[in-house]
Chains A and B, each alone.
Chain A
Amino acid sequence: MTDFLLELRSEEIPARMQEKASADLARLFVEEIAKSGLKAGSIETFATPRRLALIARDLPLQTEAVSEERKGPRANAPEQALSGFLRSTGLTREQLVERDGVLFAVIEKPGRATAEVIGEAIPAIIRAFPWPKSMRWGATSSSTESLRWVRPLQGIIALLGDDVVPCSIDDIQSGAETVGHRFHHPGCITIGNAGDYAAKLRACHVIVDPAERRKMIAEGAHTAAAAAGLTLVEDPGLVAENAGLTEWPVPLLGSFDPAFLEVPREVIQLTMRTNQKYFSVNDAAGNLAPNFVCTANITASDGGAQIVDGNHKVLAARLSDAKFFWEHDLKIPLEEQAKKLDQIVFHEKLGTVADKVDRVAKLARWLVEEGIVGGSNPTSATTPHRHPRESGDPACSSVSQGSGIPAFAGMTREELAQMAEQAARLAKADLVTGMVGEFPELQGVMGGYYARAQGYPDAVADAIRDHYKPVGQGDDVPTAPVTVAVSLADKLDSLFGFFVINETPSGSRDPFALRRAALAVSRLTLNNNLRFKLNAALSKLHAIYGEMIVSASQHYRLPVEGNAVFLRELNRVAEYAQAKGLNLVLKELGALSPEPRKPFRFIELERSLLENAANVQRSAVDFFADRLKVQQREAGVRHDLIDAVFALGGEDDLVRLLARVKALQAFVQTEDGDHLLTGYRRAANILKKEGFEGAGEQVSLSYTPEKEEADLLTALDAAEPKAEAAVAAENFEGAMAALASLRAPIDAFFDKVTVNDSDPAKRSARLATLARVRDAVHRVADFSRIEG
């Protein structure tokens, strides 16, 4: 048994690729040697910017000899089959063995030297290496078939025990030599074997283990900050990135002019992190300190003084830029900035960002006006049980119940609606500011800062800042009414618009992040107990889109009329020039003709809206159902039960839907529920088999029913109104209890009563009774969707 060392040395490998490259190297090595039946006792990998390395321990020196028997054709098979078999095995007819009339080839594979196997494996690994991006270089790149690597490959160490495993790829030969740190130890060093690899490199200022470098950086940065009485802002991602940029990491503390602290801390931290890979530091009070920690790749002879000084200057230049943007942006009111949004295309069919903002503002206002957000009937956010018809018929109103977010104290609904509209109209204005142009990640955050500094109400500034939330599964869900209105409106607008133009997600393709938007809508709705029908919101959006198209088409006519006058004049001059034979004038006129009329910018949207509007409501609600299933899976809610409730149609109030699903889930886990499900299935099967299509109506019987039949009818008469009332009152446990009362009569009915009676009157009455059972159950959920 012996150990093997492989080092692939190259010019600087991007930091972000090193971790996966290590894993790929181990995987490919294991796969390659496994082809010869070799397996290492353990595999260890290393990575620095300039090398990927692997140590495979406890490899045998030889592969085992194997004897493989392969079944061939029958002994009396045609000549062709035989010769094919001989060719494929490389044997002659005499070497084959015959058993029971079938020929067998026994192929002896002698053991091979491990060195030989590895010598073949290395070039195969290098050629198969899955770099995200690779390149050619040097003289061999005259052919596009030349070796590709992430950056030029400089050398290969391949040592099995103390011996070099000879191999070559392009013009690179394996050996035992590598280089140390680029500046601390620029010369060659020779490695003896796997055992001294890490130690020899450490002596030459290279720490080959990335975990150790990460530790050095995390601890060193912490110590450097603590020495100045400061606290490091932890950032594991940045630790890893710096570990990928250094072979000999040395964290150093630097400072910047405190005058820059007037710039929002997010800006300072972002520019330090993304542009310079610096850690941020807090003072004792938790405020951002005018300091940074950079990670040098060298122990400088002056203790790092010049390195810190240089980094200080670079940061000063970056922060000056940021400060310039901050001060410049502050001078321009967000309302002014918002006017420029008509220059940014949101989507070619859905118009500009200004168009979107207008739609979102209208919907946000509507959400408040309808009491969906900031509703006047605040209730507990956990249970939707309430008496239904407090304010008109919920079926006619978009609000099925009073919503969970109470109106702001002392604010009328109209005031809140105005605030929501104002926040929506300003929410995207920061997209045209200098700062967001420079740091797109700060969209929203900067708008919030500018709004506050320019004296807008806090609720508006907060809404601008937070209206993109929740971004991911773990992100906070806004609760402030103005924020919720803007955030919800923004996402609903995107969903509706992209569904109208058929840009719906498919498979892994979701370029407009609609799944995330739907998830955000669900979370905003459920967390805040917002009571509304999705279809009502979608209908409102339909109307808003309609208004936008009509209004744009009115503006559109003007230039067309202007063009018509211009064209007429142009033609008059052209005719004159033609008549007089003024060729030069004619030629110039040709260049003058107005631009060809651009088509109306919403021409496609208008058509899509006409064609798809009806489908969109259905498919969008289905889409929500799907996302809800995914989202609720983690909470343990069964996806088939969500289907069962959605399948009834008309249930598009997410809060009520989930309450219904949860009650159903509790019920089907009880014995009553289980039996009812069985009875329901039996009824549904019979109805299906008998082709009974009618609804379950009460029929007056022309015969005297059997006791169990009469009992079931009595039970249905009692249960139906109870279930209906309970559903209407959103008392889903009550509805389940009403259904549970059917369990025993149904079981008894199936026990004693023959549905398929020879008397057609009995048969059809009993089928109708079963249909009543089915329909009663369907008042709560479509039980046919329940699995298991």
Chain B
Amino acid sequence: MTDSKPATAKGMSFQRLILTLHDYWSDQGCVILQPYDMEMGAGTFHPATTLRALGPDPWNAAFVQPSRRPTDGRYGENPNRLQHYYQYQVVLKPSPPNLQELYLGSLAAIGIDFTKHDIRFVEDDWESPTLGAWGLGWEVWCDGMEVTQFTYFQQMGGFDCKPVAGELTYGLERLAMYIQGVDSVYDLAFNDPKGDFPAVTYGNIYHENEVQMSTWNFEVADTERLFDAFKKATAECELCLENKLPIPAYEQAIKASHVFNLLQARGVISVAERQAYIGRVRDLAKGSCAAWMEKNGWAA
């Protein structure tokens, strides 16, 4: 032990939180997937959510997805905002009748005591203009803090969900900060130290990453090449769609979406153009979803 701060004085470590959620949802029969290996703004973009929300086949899965939101970068100076953070995503299709109870079970599993904490389901309708998707649900509050987004998908890629999937998105850093009682994300205990290997904080791992990535996102990224990358992803997506390959087409849509987010962070997209770009990405995503439906022989 070299770090003076006892990392797990209160609540479980960041990684223990993930492992506990994995165990819990694995026990509920979920497929535990690994993160998708592409940059994306939210776990909802993961094909295990987007594409699997379509069609009649049952699908229960849980996974961690690193989420990148370039405009949220604060050079490592804000204790609550990051341009790269983790979402824990659970997708259950069709939504089970006891989804709320299952969800509350997961909170109990990570140590939240319902006799001392105030859990609330507060209206929050979800919409993703870039995915042509929407759903109804809540943000779940724990003592006034939003810890989870809880959504019943109604449409994805412009198609009605038949049947409806329930989606849970936990903000892992927030939840961990809450459980550990720390005020800065960088103070989170990441591991459970043992032997001579010291406690590692979230800041040890990601602070420098936030500083450098914020600098790149906001100041350095070459906008010419980004515009070019957007064009190329768009063209590649269309090529895949012509060849009836919805999965690679969808990957290019994810890519275009992320490049668009980077362009936004560089401040080179005017308000007027913004809608046009979002519309472009939506067309790609919708096209991919349509191709996926067609490939599987599902009627809209």
Contacts and interface: CB of A to CB of B under 8 A. Distances in A.
14 contacts: A11-B100, A12-B123, A136-B164, A137-B166, A141-B94, A141-B162, A143-B162, A150-B136, A151-B137, A182-B119, A183-B119, A297-B120, A301-B115, A348-B272
B79 interface: yes
B145 interface: yes
Contacts of B138: 12
A306 B80 CA distance: 20
Interface of B: 56, 78-80, 94-97, 100, 104, 114-123, 125, 135-138, 142-145, 152, 154, 160-164, 166, 178, 183, 270-272
Interface centre among A137, A142, A313, by most B CB within 10 Å? Answer: A137
A135 B154 contact: yes
A154 B79 CA distance: 40
Interface stretch (A28-36, A160-168, A314-322, A553-561): A314-322
A139 B163 contact: yes
A313 B145 contact: yes
Nearest to A308: B143
Given A135-B136, A142-B94, A314-B145, A343 B162 contact: no
Interface centre among B121, B143, B164 (most CB of A within 10 A): B143
Given A135-B154, A139-B163, A49 B145 contact: no
B162 A142 contact: yes
B149 to A, nearest CB: 14
Contact of B163 (A11, A142, A183, A245): A142
Nearest to B151: A135
A317 B121 CA distance: 21
Contact of A137 (B56, B95, B117, B160): B95
Interface of A: 11-12, 14-16, 49, 133, 135-144, 150-152, 154, 182-183, 245-246, 276, 294, 296-298, 300-302, 305-307, 309-311, 313-317, 320-321, 324, 343-345, 348
Contact of B144 (A49, A137, A143, A294): A294
Looking at B79, B104, B116, B125, the one whose CB has the most chain A CB atoms below 10 A away is: B116
Q: Which of A143, A305, A314, A348 gathers the greatest number of chain B CB atoms within 10 Å?
A: A314
B145 A139 contact: no
A11, A136, A307, A313 pick with most chain B CB within 10 angstroms: A136
A301 B119 contact: no
Contacts of B270: 343
Given A135-B154, A183-B119, A313-B183, 19 more contacts: A11-B100, A16-B123, A133-B136, A135-B135, A138-B94, A152-B97, A152-B152, A154-B97, A182-B104, A245-B122, A246-B120, A294-B144, A297-B118, A297-B120, A300-B117, A305-B116, A310-B178, A314-B143, A348-B272
Given A310-B143, A311-B144, A317 B160 contact: no
B272 to A, nearest CB: 6
Nearest to B142: A310
Nearest to A134: B136
A702 B187 CA distance: 110
A353 to B, nearest CB: 11
A245 B115 contact: no
B99 to A, nearest CB: 8
A105 to B, nearest CB: 47
Contacts of A144: 160, 162
Nearest to A292: B144
A309 B10 CA distance: 15
The 7 closest A-B pairs by CB, nearest first: A310-B143, A14-B123, A12-B121, A311-B144, A141-B164, A141-B163, A296-B118
Contacts of B137: 151
A135 B164 contact: yes
Nearest to B154: A135
A458 B104 CA distance: 54
A309 B182 CA distance: 12
B3 to A, nearest CB: 23
A567 B57 CA distance: 57
Nearest to B143: A310
Given A133-B125, A152-B152, A345-B272, A307 B164 contact: no
Contacts of A136: 152, 154, 161, 163-164
Contacts of B80: 317, 320-321
A146 B29 CA distance: 26
Contacts of B100: 11
Given A11-B121, A144-B160, A276-B144, A138 B272 contact: no
Contacts of A135: 135-136, 152, 154, 164
Contacts of A143: 162
**Residue from B78, B118, B145, B271 having most chain A Cβ neighbours under 10 A:** B118
A245 B118 CA distance: 11
Given A137-B95, A137-B164, A138-B164, A307 B136 contact: no
B116 A300 contact: yes
A135 B126 CA distance: 12
B271 A310 contact: no
A316 B154 contact: no
Contact of A306 (B79, B116, B123, B161): B116
Nearest to B231: A591
Contact of A307 (B94, B117, B178): B117
Contact of B152 (A137, A297, A315): A137
Nearest to B137: A151
Contacts of A344: 271
A324 B75 CA distance: 14
A256 to B, nearest CB: 12
Nearest to B160: A144
A271 to B, nearest CB: 12
B94 A315 contact: no
A307 B97 CA distance: 29
B122 A139 contact: no
A705 to B, nearest CB: 75
Contact of A310 (B95, B117, B183): B117
A101 B136 CA distance: 63
A310 B119 contact: no
A516 B100 CA distance: 45
B284 to A, nearest CB: 21
Nearest to B97: A138
A276 to B, nearest CB: 5
A342 B120 CA distance: 43
Contacts of A320: 78-80
A273 to B, nearest CB: 13
Nearest to B58: A139
B122 A138 contact: no
A314 B79 CA distance: 12
B126 to A, nearest CB: 11
Contacts of B118: 296-298, 300, 307, 310
A343 B161 CA distance: 39
A417 B122 CA distance: 50
Contacts of A302: 116
A547 B23 CA distance: 70
Contacts of A301: 115-116
Nearest to A316: B183
Contacts of B144: 276, 294, 310-311, 314-315
Nearest to A133: B136
B291 to A, nearest CB: 21
B145 A310 contact: yes
A139 B162 contact: no
A140 B152 CA distance: 14
A666 to B, nearest CB: 54
Contacts of B116: 300-302, 305-307
B272 A183 contact: no
Nearest to A317: B80
A296 B136 CA distance: 24
Contacts of B115: 183, 298, 300-301
A738 to B, nearest CB: 60
B152 A306 contact: no
* Interface hub of A141, A154, A294, A307 (most chain B Cβ within 10 A): A141
Contacts of A294: 144
A11 B117 CA distance: 20
